[in-house]
Structure 1
Amino acid sequence: MKKALLLIDMQKGFLGSQWPERNNPQAEEKMLTVLEHFRESGEEVIHICHKSRLAEDSFYKESDRAFMEGFEPLDGEVIFEKTVNSAFIGTDLESYLQKQGISDLVILGLTLPHCVSTTTRMAANLGFTVVLLSDATASFALPDLWGQTIDPELLHQINLASLDGEFAQVMTVEQYLNS
């Protein structure tokens, strides 16, 4: 059983003021704790980077695609660029994991209702054992079908509940590091 950390979309584009209200302001701090743990233990760290094909998308600009401070890949850490929500579509991630003998994934990053959830679901469907760290991801408020705003914490909890047990074991960073 070999495991890897998947850091999803830790890019400067998510720091912009164009985004609506977000939950979990400590998410990046928690993510850095897990990243440091993986690096210190010599376990595999894999960075997933969103590179949109749409000119109007904020991630089209090179500066927005850059990694946030502290999340820059170190030498030897692999980067996969994706153009859709799943880190498995249009990339060699699945074959890379198989070649490396990696069966277990610890997933964190931005944002839970989109790329984190989609990648988590696909990883489980492809046969990987997944741990999703609930407090090392975050959600932005979204409009519902009637134009009302869905609270980001409610949205976060609903996504975690829909993933736990079926697609991943959802844990806090503290639970994971103490397990």
Structure 2
Amino acid sequence: MPSALIALHYQNDICHPDGRIPFSLDRDGPEPARFLEASRGLIDSAREKGWSVVHVHIAFAPDYSDLPRNCRLFNAVEQLGAVKRGSWGAAPMRGFEPREDDVVLVHSGNNAFHGTGLDEILRERGIDTIVVTGLATQFSVEHTVRHATDLGYRVTVVRDCCTSGNGAAHTASLEVMSYLASITDSRTIDL
């Protein structure tokens, strides 16, 4: 059965050292570089194996008229002026540009399935197994994993290809997701 790699939010404002969202990952030390290198390698491996690679980007209208205003996380995005559709910040980070045969979805929330048509795309391709990577672990990764398991997908989370600006939240989220999905790392995953 075919598989898909879901790559969440590898965008400039979120991952780049000059990005506008300072709490998306811990930019101090070597961890961001390791996370990005492992993620790039996994995406390349998935392509080599013929998997569907799905890039899910978060972006909002330049005036934030489509921004959910029900939580502090999204309100902070507006205050920072981040991930405006068409901006450098909303664009894929260098090395994470989608290829012609990749799927690219844009959403305005945490869950990759919400409002994107992702479930329909995966089912049309006969996919029942997904691998989830990206950030932030406790937000978009976990929301996507929870929804995917509710829909009946077999899910794997690649721990070194997920990150957060809050290490304790990252660890706790991986522990919670271990009840819903297989947890592995990029060196041992069997693609």
TM-score, with length taken from structure 1: 0.86
* 3-state SS, counterpart of residue 58 of structure 1: coil
Aligned pairs for 1:1-179 (under 5 A) are: 1-14=1-14, 15=16, 16=19, 18-20=21-23, 22=26, 24-25=31-32, 26-52=34-60, 53-54=66-67, 56=78, 57-60=81-84, 62-140=87-165, 152-165=166-179, 167-177=180-190
Instruction: Tell me how far 1:155 sits from its aligned partner.
Output: 1.4
Structure 2: runs of 5+ lacking an equivalent: 61-65, 68-76
Q: Distance between the aligned counterparts of 2:142 and 2:35, measured in 1? A: 16
- RMSD of aligned Cα (Å): 1.8
Q: Distance between the aligned counterparts of 1:175 and 1:153, measured in 2? A: 22
Residue-pair matches, total: 166
Whichever residue aligns with residue 169 of structure 2, its letter is: L
Deviation by residue 1:70-108 (Cα, 9 ceiling, x = unmatched): 110011111111111111111110011111100000110
Structure 1: runs of 5+ lacking an equivalent: 141-151
Q: Distance between the aligned counterparts of 1:40 and 1:18, measured in 2? A: 32
User: Identity percentage over the alignment?
Assistant: 27
